[in-house]
Amino acid sequence: MNVRGMWAIYCFEMSRTKRTITQSIVSPVLSTVLYFVVFGGAIGSRIESVDGISYGAFIVPGLIMLSIMTQSLSNASFGIYFPRFSGTIYEVLSAPMSFWEATAGYVGAAATKALLIGLITLATAGLFVPIEIAHPFWMLAFLILTTITFSLFGFLIGIWADGFEKLQLIPLLVVTPMVFLGGAFYSIDMLPSAWQTVTMFNPVVYLISGFRWSFYEISDVSVGVSLMMVTLFMGICLALIGWIFKTGYRLKQ
Amino acid sequence: MIEVKNLGKQYTNGFVALDNINLSVKKGEILALLGPNGAGKTTLISTICGIVNPTSGSVTVGGFDIIKDYRKTRSLIGLVPQELTTDAFETPWNNLRLSRGLFGLPKNPQMVEKILKDLSLWDKKDDRIMTLSGGMKRRLLIAKALVHEPQVLFLDEPTAGVDVALRQDMWRMVDDLRKQGVTIILTTHYIEEAEAIADRIGVISGGKLLLVEDKQLLMSRMGQKQLKVELMESLDALPTVLAEQGFVLAEDSLSIVYHYGKDAPEVDIAGLLQSVASAGLGVKDIHTQKSSLEEIFVDLVERAA
């Protein structure tokens, strides 16, 4: 195994984060604070508590999920798309490393960055509302699993995209609505029952529900199901990457 | 060092970039690949390096299969691509560290320093790559290929858009590498360079390897010499004496030409000239010339097309 190669890609990607610190870390934190002020402060003060949790505190896990999902996607998709676009990918393809190792380097860096942003968001939210975390281990586990899964997903988008527009297409048209409708800002049982059934087909519901459970021990679906769904989604992404590795799709023609 | 057997590549749109290529490159030699644009030179190199998947055939480098033992073959190879593809926002120093890392080698600041100095990039090591000139970027790509100590070096049109002084530096470097036993495969559009530096020459056109031959052999086999006698006055018909000796009248009827092979038995030039004089023709100028690699190349490619 070419551990040095993986580490080289990881460090190279992380140095990109350092170079673009403002857009990488500061702006997602700022937008989360804005969400918090609007939904948690202004609107939230008129909403009664949800399942015994104040609305401001209720939306914290959803907000963190929203930011780590979008960040994982955009970091990972840009991370692999840019070298494809500029042509520097030739060096990775001709290096003595397997495609899995290269993937680990890129996805690891994207997930690390998203995880950092998630933790910073959590700390920022802590300034607005008191936050208690019932299961810190599971909180971290959900955080890490989600960043890795969505980074894998973003990596796939970055390989599939053949233009900068496509890079934005899936995150904007599919993922953002899924996250918003996945219960980031409400509890599923606040919906009419017909919509509750529809919502169950949204994979993000399971992630947010599981993550919120690790904070407040309240959830829309059981934690086991949540974990299963994350694992399933990750499995699908890994299978697709395996297929790309085998066929050379979009990378080796 | 490199064995290419029945290698074929057809792109998904049906375009055949490589058509049954067979090629064997010995350790420590310099092979120049010549061919018009789109002939398949870059595809051939990319396939050997693992950037393009072949559709048929096999390649071994240093005795290892490029698919089964890709880690072994790729760590032997350094590639300098044709396009100036660089990480615009990075510095040369970080970029070379990445290159070493990708090839699984430990950090070696002394070596990176030496390579940057050899290629006169040392004072630019902490500048953003986008601020470098085209020639510097080209040298950086070479540095990236050399920094992981390859046994085989692919140079894909390394001198395209490079000024004369730098080009000469580059060929000196290639010569040094050859002395260290590095096998070098290069593509170039400058045929006189292939003529000057290569041990063997391969000609690719339309995805086919038309020939691979020792440079000297190729030039003597394909090369021809001609003796051209320019006349004072135009000639309506060639005197029979001269026609019998093998002279032909040039199209402009102002000169007569005698062709002979480069390695043909001794040609009696004095005798030929004497015949010209005794035929009563006024001679303005005479010169001999041998066909260059360029003419051989154009001839080959045109014949294949």
CA atoms of A60 and A102, how far apart (whole Å):
34
Q: Is A195 on the interface with B (CB under 8 A)?
A: no
CA atoms of B144 and B97, how far apart (whole Å):
9
Phi, psi dihedrals of residue B9, rounded to the nearest 5°:
-140, 120
Of the residues B102, B108, B128, the best mutation for testing chain A's interface (the one with the most A CB atoms within 10 Å of its CB) is B102
Higher pLDDT, A27 or B74: B74
Residue in the structure block whose two tokens are 């290419």? B4
Identify the band that residue A33 occupies on the pLDDT scale cut at 50, 70 and 90: confident
Q: Is B81 on the interface with A (CB under 8 A)?
A: yes
Distance from CA of A240 to the nearest CA of B (A): 18
Q: Say if residue B197's pLDDT is above 90.
A: no
Residue in the structure block whose two tokens are 């190199």? B45
Q: Say if residue A253's pLDDT is above 80.
A: no
Residues 6+ positions from A13 with CB-CB distance below 8 Å: A79, A105, A106, A109, A110
Identify the band that residue B223 occupies on the pLDDT scale cut at 50, 70 and 90: low
- pLDDT, residue B217, reads 81
Identify the band that residue B264 occupies on the pLDDT scale cut at 50, 70 and 90: low
Cβ pair B104:A97 closer than 8 A: yes
Identify the band that residue B305 occupies on the pLDDT scale cut at 50, 70 and 90: low
Q: Say if residue B290's pLDDT is above 80.
A: no
Q: Say if residue B57's pLDDT is above 90.
A: yes
Segments in chain B forming alpha helices (H):
41-49, 70-76, 92-102, 109-118, 134-146, 164-179, 191-197, 215-222, 240-245, 269-278, 293-304
| Eight-state DSSP code of residue A37 | I
Higher pLDDT, B276 or B99: B99
Number of other residues whose CB lies within 10 A of the CB of residue A35: 18
- pLDDT, residue A3, reads 92
- pLDDT, residue B262, reads 60
Q: To the nearest whole number, what is the mean pLDDT of chain A?
A: 88
Chain B residues lying within 8 Å of A5, measured CB to CB: 101-104
Of the residues A86, A91, A92, the best mutation for testing chain B's interface (the one with the most B CB atoms within 10 Å of its CB) is A91
Amino acid identity of residue A47, one-letter, is: I
Residue in the structure block whose two tokens are 């970080």? B94
CA atoms of A215 and A137, how far apart (whole Å):
10
Mean local confidence (pLDDT), A2-30: 86
- pLDDT, residue B87, reads 87
Under 8 Å CB pairs connecting chains A and B tally to: 86
Residues 6+ positions from B305 with CB-CB distance below 8 Å: B205, B206
Q: Using CB atoms within 10 Å of the CB of residue A200, give its burial: 0 to 12 exposed, 13 to 18 middle, 19+ buried.
A: middle
Number of other residues whose CB lies within 10 A of the CB of residue A27: 12
- pLDDT, residue B263, reads 60
Q: Is B16 on the interface with A (CB under 8 A)?
A: no
Distance from CA of A25 to the nearest CA of B (A): 19
CA distances from B53 to A97, B17, B71, B154 (A): 15, 12, 15, 17
Q: Is B85 on the interface with A (CB under 8 A)?
A: yes
pTM, two decimal places:
0.84
Least confident of A139-148, A203-212, B288-297: B288-297
Both structure tokens of B266 = 């001794």
- pLDDT, residue B210, reads 87
